């Protein structure tokens, strides 16, 4: 029998619950929590509504894709910025603010599905796309305006590198990220500064066995970080971060 989850733990699992990504013991406890907490139920409903956009995208809606591109390209603001460490005892934000954050997170997730080159589960990438991506990475590194970051873990080992261009295009190269088990994924975060201090914004879901990845992030970014999350990704990173580094 699983131990009783705290309120903070229940809150952190609401997104996973909405995506059916929790185990049976967690699901039972969260269901009881939802029965007594209207704001938690509203948050689950918002998550499901936003993730339904993914189904619409798969049906090829040009209007939806345009909305997603507009959402991704706008500058980050308080609706999709997450502090690196939440204050002790903090509670979920209000429902409208949360809904906007979910839209931003879903947009980043959809964009990642469309533009990130990830190794498939059997380890076989699309060879042509991979070659094109390698060429793009080399061209980016040759750009005199490009900035680069070495993302290192807590022991100082560089686990991945990022090259970032002025137009917001960026590339991640894996140097020492292990293949994750099924159900887990690496997620890329742009490190920014808002009025409250250091924070991060999702820049894309990388998959569990990424070699090279392209992404796009517009905004005043000072570095990037990678976290390890439950698939298909998280609205905010779980700490400790897998790797992080500043742009030079």
- In this structure, what DSSP letter does residue 239 have? S
Q: Rounded distance, CA 14 to CA 163, Å?
A: 34
Strand duo 197-207 + 184-194: pairing? antiparallel
Give the whole-angstrom CA distance, residue 68 versus residue 72: 6
Between 38-58 and 95-115, two packed helices, what is the crossing angle to 10 degrees?
30
Helix (H) or strand (E) holding 137: helix 127-142
pTM over 0.75: no
Cα(74)–Cα(150) distance, integer angstroms? 26
Contacts of 111 (CB under 8 A, 6+ apart): 68, 69, 72, 204, 215, 216
DSSP 234: -
Where do the domains of the chain lie? Answer: 7-113, 117-246
User: Would you say 8 and 33 are in contact if contact means Cβ atoms under 8 Å apart?
Assistant: no
What are the tokens at 83? 């502090």
3 state SS for 4-17: CCCHHHHHHCHHHH
pLDDT in tens, the chain (248 residues): 457 888 888 888 887 788 777 788 888 899 999 999 888 888 888 777 666 655 444 444 455 445 544 544 444 444 444 554 443 333 444 343 344 444 444 444 444 443 444 433 334 445 677 788 889 999 999 999 999 999 999 999 999 999 999 999 999 999 999 999 988 889 999 998 766 667 888 888 888 888 888 988 888 899 999 999 888 788 788 878 999 999 99
């Amino acid at each position: 029998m699983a131990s009783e989850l705290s309120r903070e733990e229940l809150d952190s699992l609401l997104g996973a619950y909405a995506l059916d990504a929790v185990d049976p013991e967690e699901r039972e406890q969260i269901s009881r929590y939802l029965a007594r907490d209207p704001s938690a139920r509203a948050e689950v409903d918002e998550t499901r509504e936003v993730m339904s956009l993914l189904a619409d995208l798969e049906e090829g809606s040009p209007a939806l894709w345009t909305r997603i591109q507009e959402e991704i390209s706008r500058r980050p603001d308080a609706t999709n910025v997450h502090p690196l460490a939440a204050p002790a005892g903090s509670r979920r934000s209000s429902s409208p603010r949360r809904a906007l954050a979910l839209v931003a997170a879903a947009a980043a997730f959809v964009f990642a599905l469309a533009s990130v080159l990830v190794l498939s589960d059997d380890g076989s990438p699309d060879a042509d796309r991979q070659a094109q991506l390698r060429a793009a990475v080399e061209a980016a590194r040759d750009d005199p305006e490009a900035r680069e970051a070495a993302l290192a873990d807590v022991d100082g080992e560089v686990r991945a590198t990022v090259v970032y261009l002025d137009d917001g295009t960026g590339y991640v190269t894996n140097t020492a990220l292990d293949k994750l088990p099924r159900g887990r994924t690496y997620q890329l975060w742009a490190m920014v500064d808002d009025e409250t201090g250091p924070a991060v914004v999702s820049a894309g879901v990388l998959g569990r066995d990424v070699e090279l990845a392209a992404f796009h992030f517009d905004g005043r970014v000072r570095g990037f970080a990678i976290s390890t999350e439950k698939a298909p990704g998280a609205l905010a990173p779980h700490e400790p971060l897998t790797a992080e580094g500043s742009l030079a």
